[in-house]
A and B are shown apart, each in its own frame.
Chain A
């Protein structure tokens, strides 16, 4: 596609509910990243994939967070038993071959946990 596509755009979850956020990277982009942006803060790194391999998950805040990219294209970020502190915008980004350049972010999923 022309850009990084994320869905849903908005998600309201009741505390304790599981959610799944989807990211469709730019076609052909090998690297995919998830970031979390809390209100009034900059994005914080969550995890990094190169093709289907999750090479870095050091930023995932707890074992309730899980990300996958089984076929090396679409990725899903799953949050189990959501808590209020999980409320944030979840941004997905991709680039052609890793590195720091050519990062393209999606519009994000705004998650509100009530």
Chain B
């Protein structure tokens, strides 16, 4: 079983829509959580960290549920530029190694 599992999508949404997706992780000892964004044939880039209390960054909201071991990302008022693959990332106590999910593809259409 993979350490981080994501629904691959694709999620095809119109501009202005809200889209949300989750990932689950298997290691209950995981301590740090992130969402990375990866554009086609580009490198991953940090979108946001995910905190226990949930956090927002503009149109993006991330939630963490430690009891159920899942992380969610919600994108409000989708823009064409939000089209990308969103990678769920988890890290344990070793403090340097990132475990990535396979990614969820989002396509925003005009």
A binding-site residues for B, Cβ under 8 Å: 31, 33, 35, 40-45, 48, 56, 91, 98-101, 103, 105-108
Known: A48-B97, A105-B44. 17 other contacts (CB 8 A): A41-B102, A42-B87, A42-B102, A42-B103, A43-B100, A45-B97, A45-B98, A48-B96, A56-B94, A56-B96, A91-B43, A99-B95, A100-B34, A100-B95, A100-B98, A101-B49, A108-B43
Q: Which one of B49, B95, B100 lies within 8 Å of A42 (CB-CB)?
A: B100
**Contact A98 B95, beta carbon cutoff 8 Å:** yes
Contact, CB under 8 Å: B43 / A107 = yes
> Contact at B96–A99, with CB atoms within 8 Å?
yes
Residues in B lying within 8 Å of A, measured CB to CB: 4, 8, 32, 34, 42-46, 49, 87, 89, 91, 94-103
> Smallest CB–CB gap between A19 and chain B, Å?
20
> Using a Cβ cutoff of 8 Å, how many contacts connect chains A and B?
50
Residue of A nearest to B44 (CB): A105
Top 6 closest A-B pairs, CB basis? A42-B100, A105-B43, A42-B102, A43-B100, A45-B97, A100-B91
Q: List 25 A-B contacts (CB under 8 A).
A: A33-B96, A40-B8, A42-B4, A42-B87, A42-B89, A42-B101, A43-B44, A43-B87, A43-B100, A44-B100, A45-B97, A45-B98, A48-B97, A56-B94, A56-B96, A56-B97, A99-B96, A100-B32, A100-B34, A100-B91, A101-B49, A105-B44, A107-B42, A107-B43, A108-B43
A101 to B31, CA, bound (A): 13
What B residues does A106 contact at CB under 8 A? Answer: 43
Residue numbers in B under 8 Å from A31 (CB-CB): 96
Q: Give the nearest-CB partner of B95 in chain A.
A: A99
